[in-house]
Amino acid sequence: MKINDFELDLNVGSAPFFQTNGDKRVRFLMDTFADNPGLLKKVYKYLIDINDDMNCSFISGYMFKDRKQFEYGNIGRTIKITNVKTCSYWNNDLDAFVTFSTVTNVASADVHHYLKQSMRGFQHDLHICFYNKDFLIYVTTDVMDLISTKRIIAGVKQDFASFIDRRYEVLLTRSSG
């Protein structure tokens, strides 16, 4: 499944962080947010007006030969779901169809609530993306990746420098150089 504004493909098996140039991405560990109360809210408010709506996409299931497996992340507990579309794509690595669900017009407050719940460990690991035209937030139980323009990411890297996880920035730089 492609998210065109960011030239990302969620079906390729690697996180959006690894599909994007270093100057258009930044990674935070969820533990960093847990250890620094209020940081998640500051980063989130830096990115979005609380009144803006977003879209969200996540893997909702798999189909292996004759067997279907659904991913139940209880997303409806934190996000009001009204507009849902599903689509399936063949994934060569898994030798299966992967089903993605996309929810449109998700309230920004619901996204913030979901991020807080993930930080606290109350959400299942859905590998979920929240996005609008300006940025994309990719969330797992371990990390929150931000993908955006060079200008926005430069600002995030400057304002939140001491909280950013730079482990893969260093590894990726060493492996390509």
- Kindly list the distances between the CA atom of residue 109 and the CA atoms of 44, 45, 48, 106, 115, in Å, as whole numbers in the listed order: 10, 11, 10, 9, 10
> With bands split at pLDDT 50, 70 and 90, how would you rate the model's confidence at 11?
low
Summarize pLDDT for 134-172 with one digit per residue, the tens.
889 999 888 999 999 999 999 999 999 999 998 877 555
DSSP 50: T
Paired tokens of 14: 């690697």
Question: What predicted TM-score, i.e. pTM, was given to this entire model?
Answer: 0.85
Domain that holds residue 9: 2-176
Asked whether the beta carbons of 128 and 115 are under 8 A apart, the reply is no
Paired tokens of 127: 């590998």
Query: 82: closest CA among 59, 104, 108, 113?
Result: 104
- pLDDT of residue 67 exceeding 80: yes
Paired tokens of 167: 């482990």
- pLDDT of residue 60 exceeding 70: yes
Total domains in the fold of the chain: 1
Q: Please list, in sequence order, all residues whose beta carbon lies within 8 angstroms of the beta carbon of residue 69, skipping any fewer than 6 positions away.
A: 61, 62, 63
The proportion of the chain whose per-residue pLDDT surpasses 90, expressed as a percent, equals: 33
Torsion angle, alpha carbons of 38, 40, 45, 48, to 10: -170
Instruction: Supply the mean pLDDT for the chain.
Output: 84
User: Residue 150 and residue 22: Cα distance in Å, rounded?
Assistant: 9
